[in-house]
C-alpha cells in the first residue's frame, strides 16, 4: 500500500520523518488551503479548489490514487466527492454507509444522513449498494438485507417502504431480501444490511451511540462506587478490556460515500491512529475487491429487472 | 387507591383471594370476551364490545374509574380508547409517550408509534402534551422540550421540523423550547421531553432497547468467560445489581396514550407484578396531578397564541 499525503508540506514532512518505515511508501503533496470544520459545503466547493481535501479527491478522479480517506468536514467532503467523482450510472443519490457490532457479528446500515428524504427507488438502490458493501468490506458471501420499519408486518409503516419492499421482493434481483426489520433488529444482527432513509438512519445511529455511552457510564460508576466493586473490576479487568474492544468505536471507524464513481471514506474527526488505520482498511478492502465494478453490475441488473417487470405488466 | 378488575370473574376471584390485603380495595367485573394479541384493531372495535378491555375503557368514560391500565393488545387498546374517550378539544391526534433513564435522570419521548407521519401542528401539540406529562409524571417543574432532528443547526433536517421549531420558539407559548436535538441527546438527557413523529420515535426507542441488550449481553459474556472474571463479578455484584436496577425496563413500564379525554396506560405484555405496578403508578400520577385539565389549558393557550400570531402577521 502506498500513500499520498495532502496538506502543509512542512508539517507533514516533519511528522513522516518521525517514522522511518514510511519513507518508502509515502509521498507528500503541498496544499495551500485547508477546509475547516465550520465551512459550508457550497463554499468549500467553490472557494477551496486548492485545499488538501479537494486535491486528494482530484487524485482519485485522475486515477493517481485508488481511494481517498479524510477526517475533515463531512459535508464538504461529500459535496466535493460528489462533484468531482460523480455518481455511478443508474444511481440517483449516493448514501453514507457504515458498519457496527451486533449480537451475531457485524452489520452495515445506510443511509446515515446524506439524504433526509428518500423515495422507493433511492431505497432499492441503497439496498443494492449496501449489499455490495457487506460483501466486500464485511466479507459476507450472501448478505441478507432488511428495510427498517415500525413493524414486521407487510401492511405496516410508510407507503414508500411498502413500495420499496415490493420491488426488493422481486426474485430477479441479485439480493437476499429479508423483509421489514425494526429498531431492535439493528443490534440483534437480524440482517447483514439495514436500509433506511438518511433521517431515520442518522437518528438510529446516534441513538445507539448515546445508549452505549449511557450504559458504559453507569457501568463505570458501578465499578467505582465501592472498594469491593473496585477489586471485582481489577479481577475481571482483562475480560472487561475484551468487552471494551468489542464495542470500540475505533474498530468501526470509516463511513463510506457509496454510489460515487470512486471510493471516498470519511474518518471520525476525533479518532486516533488505530481508528484512522481502520478507515484506511475500509477504503483498501473496497479497492481490492473492486466494489465499484460490482455496484455498476448490480445497479444495471436492478434496472434491467425493473424494466422487465414493467414489460411483464404491460403485456 | 381502589381497583376494578375486568375479566373472567372466576379466575380473577381465585387470584384475588390469594392476597387478603386486596379484599377491601378490589371489585371484580365479569367480561365475556377477551381481545387476543393477534386481533386487528378494527375488528376489536366492532366485535369486542363486551371484552374486558372495552368494559374497562367504558368505566373511564362513565366516570366510574379515573383511569384504565391494560397489558393487552396495543392497537386494540389505542383504537378503543380513542373511540370511547375521544381526543381532547384542539388535539388532532393522540400520541404514545413513555419515559426512560438518561445520564441526568429521566426523560420522556413522544410519539412512539401512534402516528407514522406527522405535520408541524401535530408536533407542536405533542410538545405541549409531552411537557404536561413530564411535569405530572416525572415531577419536573419546568421541563425543557427538544425536537428530534439530524443536526442542531436551524437549517438542517426536514421542512416540517423547521416549521414546528419556528412555532415552538414563539415566546407566547408556555413551553421551555430547547431547539433541535439529535439521537445521542436522548440518552444524554439534554432535554426533558423529546418530540418526534411516531416512525422515528418507534425506531429510536427500539434501537435503544436493542443496543442496551447488546451491551448487557456482551457484559454477561465477559463476566462468565473466566474464573477470575466470575470472582470479580461476585465481588462487584451488589453494585452490578444497582446498575441493573437503574436500567430495569420494569421501572419504565407504562406507555400513555396522550391527547385523549381520559387516562389510558399501556403496560408491556411481558412484564411482572413490579412492572405492572409501575404502569399503575403512571396512571395514578397523571390522575392525581390532573393532567387532563392541564393539557386542556395548555392546548387552548397554543391555539390562542397561533391565532394571535396570525392576527399579528395580517396587521
Query: Tens-of-pLDDT digits for all 315 residues of chain B?
Result: 999 999 999 999 999 999 999 989 999 999 999 999 999 999 999 999 999 999 999 999 999 999 999 999 999 999 999 999 999 998 999 999 999 899 999 999 999 999 999 999 999 999 999 999 999 889 999 999 999 999 766 667 789 999 999 999 876 777 899 999 999 999 999 999 999 999 999 999 999 999 988 988 888 888 887 888 788 778 877 777 877 777 787 888 889 999 999 999 999 888 899 999 999 999 999 999 999 999 998 888 888 877 766 565 544
Three cell numbers, residue A226 = 465501592
Say if residue A70's pLDDT is above 80: yes
Give me the residue from A185, A210, A235 closest to B184, CB to CB: A210
A209:B235 CB<8 A: no
A81-99 average pLDDT score: 94
The interface predicted TM-score (ipTM) is 0.88
In a domain, B130, yes or no: yes
In a domain, B83, yes or no: no
Name the pTM for this structure: 0.90
In a domain, B38, yes or no: no
- Measured over the CA atoms of residue B190, residue B192, residue B198 and residue B202, the dihedral's sign is positive
Q: Does B78 touch chain A (CB under 8 A)?
A: no
In a domain, A240, yes or no: yes
In a domain, A35, yes or no: no
For chain B, how many structural domains are there in total? 1
In a domain, B84, yes or no: no
The nearest CA of chain A is from the CA of B213 a distance in Å of 8
Residues of B in contact with A184 (CB under 8 A): 206-207, 209-210, 213
A117:B218 CB<8 A: no
CB pairs under 8 A between A and B: 201
B212:A209 CB<8 A: no
What local confidence, expressed as pLDDT, does residue B49 receive? 96
> How many alpha carbons lie under 13 Å from residue B297 in its C-beta half-sphere?
9
A210:B148 CB<8 A: no
**Euclidean distance between CA atoms A173 and A122, whole angstroms:** 15
Portion of chain B with pLDDT greater than 90, in percent: 68
**Euclidean distance between CA atoms B85 and B58, whole angstroms:** 8
pLDDT digits (tens, 9 = 90+) for A144-181: 999 999 976 666 778 999 999 999 987 677 789 999 99
What local confidence, expressed as pLDDT, does residue A61 receive? 97
The nearest CA of chain B is from the CA of A87 a distance in Å of 23
Nearest Cα to Cα of residue A86 among A300, A261, A265, A299? A261
Q: Which residues contact B42 (CB under 8 A, 6 or more apart)?
A: B79
Q: What is the mean pLDDT of chain A?
A: 90
pLDDT digits (tens, 9 = 90+) for B201-226: 999 999 999 998 898 888 888 888 78
The residue range of the domain holding A242 is 88-253+289-314
The nearest CA of chain B is from the CA of A311 a distance in Å of 33
Closest chain B residue to A156 measured between Cα atoms? B116
A187:B228 CB<8 A: no
pLDDT digits (tens, 9 = 90+) for A178-200: 999 999 999 999 999 999 999 99
Beta bridge pairs of residue B266: B70, B255
What is the CATH classification number for the domain harbouring B145? 3.40.718.10
A250-272 average pLDDT score: 91
In a domain, B126, yes or no: yes
Q: What angle do CA B301, B303, B305 make, to 5 degrees?
A: 65
In a domain, B56, yes or no: no
Say if residue A133's pLDDT is above 50: yes
Q: Residue B72 to residues B54, B94, B265: CA-CA distances in angstroms?
A: 11, 19, 11
Residues of B in contact with A236 (CB under 8 A): 222-223, 228-229, 231-233, 236
What local confidence, expressed as pLDDT, does residue B110 receive? 96
Residue predicted with more confidence, A77 or A239? A77
Amino acid at each position: 500500500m502506498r500513500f499520498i499525503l495532502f496538506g502543509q508540506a512542512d508539517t507533514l514532512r516533519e511528522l513522516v520523518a518521525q517514522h522511518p518505515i514510511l519513507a518508502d511508501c509515502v509521498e507528500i503533496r503541498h496544499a495551500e488551503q485547508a477546509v475547516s470544520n465550520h465551512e459550508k459545503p457550497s463554499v468549500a466547493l467553490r472557494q477551496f479548489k486548492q485545499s488538501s481535501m479537494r486535491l486528494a479527491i482530484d487524485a482519485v478522479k485522475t486515477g493517481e490514487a485508488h481511494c481517498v480517506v479524510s477526517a475533515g468536514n463531512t459535508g464538504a467532503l461529500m459535496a466535493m466527492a460528489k462533484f468531482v467523482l460523480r455518481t455511478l450510472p443508474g444511481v440517483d443519490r449516493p448514501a453514507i454507509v457504515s458498519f457496527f457490532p451486533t449480537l451475531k457479528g457485524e452489520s452495515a446500515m445506510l443511509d446515515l444522513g446524506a439524504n433526509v428524504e428518500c423515495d422507493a427507488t433511492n431505497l432499492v438502490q441503497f439496498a443494492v449498494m449496501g449489499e455490495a458493501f457487506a460483501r466486500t468490506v464485511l466479507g459476507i458471501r450472501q448478505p441478507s438485507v432488511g428495510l427498517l420499519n415500525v413493524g414486521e408486518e407487510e401492511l405496516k409503516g410508510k407507503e414508500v417502504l411498502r413500495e420499496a419492499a415490493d420491488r426488493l421482493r422481486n426474485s430477479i434481483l441479485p439480493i437476499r431480501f429479508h423483509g421489514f426489520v425494526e429498531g431492535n433488529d439493528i443490534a440483534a444482527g437480524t440482517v447483514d444490511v439495514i436500509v433506511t432513509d438518511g433521517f431515520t438512519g442518522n437518528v438510529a445511529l446516534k441513538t445507539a451511540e448515546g445508549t452505549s455511552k449511557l450504559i458504559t457510564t453507569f457501568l463505570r460508576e458501578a465499578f467505582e462506587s465501592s472498594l469491593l466493586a473496585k477489586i471485582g473490576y481489577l479481577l475481571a479487568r482483562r475480560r472487561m478490556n475484551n468487552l471494551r474492544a468489542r464495542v470500540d468505536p475505533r474498530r468501526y471507524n470509516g463511513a463510506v460515500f457509496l454510489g460515487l464513481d470512486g471510493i471516498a471514506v470519511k474518518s471520525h474527526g476525533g479518532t486516533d491512529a488505530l481508528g484512522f488505520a481502520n478507515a484506511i482498511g475500509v477504503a483498501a478492502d473496497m479497492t481490492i475487491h473492486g466494489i465499484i465494478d460490482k455496484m455498476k453490475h448490480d445497479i444495471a441488473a436492478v434496472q434491467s429487472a425493473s424494466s422487465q417487470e414493467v414489460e411483464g405488466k404491460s403485456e
